[in-house]
Amino acid sequence: MLESLMDVFLKQRLSLRLETEKNKEKVEAMEKKFQPKAWLAYASERIKVINISTHVQKFTNTSIKKTTDLFCPDGCGGNLIGLVGTHCVGNFSFYDLSTSNAANLDKDIAAFFNMEYRGRRVFDLITNKDEWFYKEIKGICSNADAFYEAVNPIFPKKTSFLAKQVYWLVGGDPCRDENYHLLAPLYATSLAHRVFLTINEDRFGEPAKEARKARRDNKPCDWGYQDYPNLAVQKMGGTKPQNISQLNSERGGNNYLLASLPPVWESPEVREPLRTDSVFPRFGRRREVRWLVNGLRRFLEEGPDPVLATRNRRDAYMDALIDELVLFASELHLLEPGWSAKTECRLHEAEALWLDLYRGENDKAFEAKRESEDWPADVRHRFANWLNRELHRRLPVGDAEHQYWMAYMKKKLDALQEVLPHV
């Protein structure tokens, strides 16, 4: 019978309370309160101010008070194949309890819902509206309907102006207000709890400890273990995690955040520009540079009118090309200083002075040339020659264009010198 099972359950819950309570009068009062009929009557009133939920708004803003938390164990239905959500939790072992006042949360009520009766949880029996269970609990508690109303609320859903909100375009015209739907993202507390327990088991469970020890000792093990690199912990509720929800309190306010990082960039090895008299052919083979040169060529082939828009677009291509050239040079600046002194290096002296940036630290003659000679003008001249050759295949470019490329490059690099002295 349910009443006899409740009697055993409540005696266990009472013993936890009495471990720290020494006052005789309070002990007697608690013993009366923890009788099945008295406790169910008390719980049926307390449950009215507690939200049973899988998605809690208060996680997004702890100042939120009176809102609707949702209970959606199946992810609100729909085609969810391939998506991770609350519906992945399984038989739905986890639900959360939340309230606008943390004093209303009651661990005994949570334990009652998890109590097994005839092989099923009380929470599942109430959720599924089992008739035989309803009759039994109704025989003990006249207000048993409060439990059913808490699990299956019929009140209208509402959010808070403090909650996070997103305007989502659902129509074709983004300039019309009626084409937007206001979304209120909620924190999937049940899914977060499942993730928390899984990660804790993978990190601190005995099988994981044994597997890690076997690896350290270079011994075989019949099972493996999981690692979660760059795992972060988000604390919810500060020193009082119960202010957020029951499950958050059980986690001590800890909520795991899995790493969501871009891949680590691995640049190809930068080779010394040896056995060539210029680096510009290599520069021109870079994918981004080819794309920019081809774009500039196609634009000029169209014969655009000599207006401001044309000049701005042409200069935008030049800006991007020179940015790529600065990046290209900065990669060569990272090479071991002195590479240009090798016998295999046949670079034009101006390009060597430009690209072997730190050779002068151990080569005073080289440093003197960097400081005294007008090698930057030679570099600009060689850049302009290279660009004219690239464009000349289809365009009649000549001295006028050459002078413009040189002048624009000097203007751009002079501006960059103020923030990047070594460009």
- 311 or 84: which carries more pLDDT confidence? 311
Decide which of 128, 162, 183 is a domain's last residue: 183
Phi/psi region, residue 211 (left: phi>0; alpha: psi -120 to 50; beta: rest), is alpha
List residues bridging with 188 in a β-sheet: 55
Distance CA 376, CA 195 (A): 59
Name residues whose C-beta falls within 8 Å of residue 398's C-beta, 6 or more positions apart in sequence: 388
Burial of 99 (C-beta count, 10 Å sphere; 0-12/13-18/19+): buried
pTM: 0.58
Decide which of 133, 154, 183 is a domain's last residue: 183
- Mean pLDDT (the chain) is 85
Q: What percent of the chain has pLDDT over 90?
A: 37
- pLDDT score of 238: 81
Decide which of 156, 183, 210 is a domain's last residue: 183
- pLDDT score of 101: 65
Task: Answer whether residue 223 is part of any domain.
Answer: no
Residues 175, 289 within the same domain: no
Task: Answer whether residue 43 is part of any domain.
Answer: yes
Q: Is the pLDDT of residue 18 over 70?
A: yes
Q: Is the pLDDT of residue 59 over 90?
A: no
List residues bridging with 169 in a β-sheet: 180
Task: Answer whether residue 251 is part of any domain.
Answer: no
Contact 397, 391 (CB under 8 A): yes
The per-residue pLDDT for range 217-233, each reduced to its tens digit, is 999 999 999 999 889 99
Task: Answer whether residue 408 is part of any domain.
Answer: yes
Structural domains in the chain (count): 2
Give the structural domain span for 41: 2-183
- pLDDT score of 189: 85
Q: Across residues 18-30, what is the average pLDDT?
A: 78
Distance CA 134, CA 130 (A): 6
For residue 97, give the H/E element and its range. strand 96-98
Name residues whose C-beta falls within 8 Å of residue 262's C-beta, 6 or more positions apart in sequence: none
Task: Answer whether residue 51 is part of any domain.
Answer: yes
Distance CA 2, CA 394 (A): 92
Residues 160, 285 within the same domain: no
- pLDDT score of 204: 92
The per-residue pLDDT for range 346-364, each reduced to its tens digit, is 999 999 999 998 998 888 9
Distance CA 404, CA 110 (A): 77
Task: Answer whether residue 147 is part of any domain.
Answer: yes
Task: Answer whether residue 84 is part of any domain.
Answer: yes
Q: Across residues 242-256, what is the average pLDDT?
A: 87
- pLDDT score of 100: 67
Q: 384-396: buried (b, 16+ CB within 10 Å) or exposed (e) per residue?
A: bebbbebbeeeee
Task: Answer whether residue 225 is part of any domain.
Answer: no
Distance CA 245, CA 303 (A): 68
Residues 10, 123 within the same domain: yes
The per-residue pLDDT for range 367-379, each reduced to its tens digit, is 998 887 789 999 9
Distance CA 333, CA 327 (A): 10
Residues 22, 159 within the same domain: yes
Residues 284, 148 within the same domain: no
Residues 41, 161 within the same domain: yes
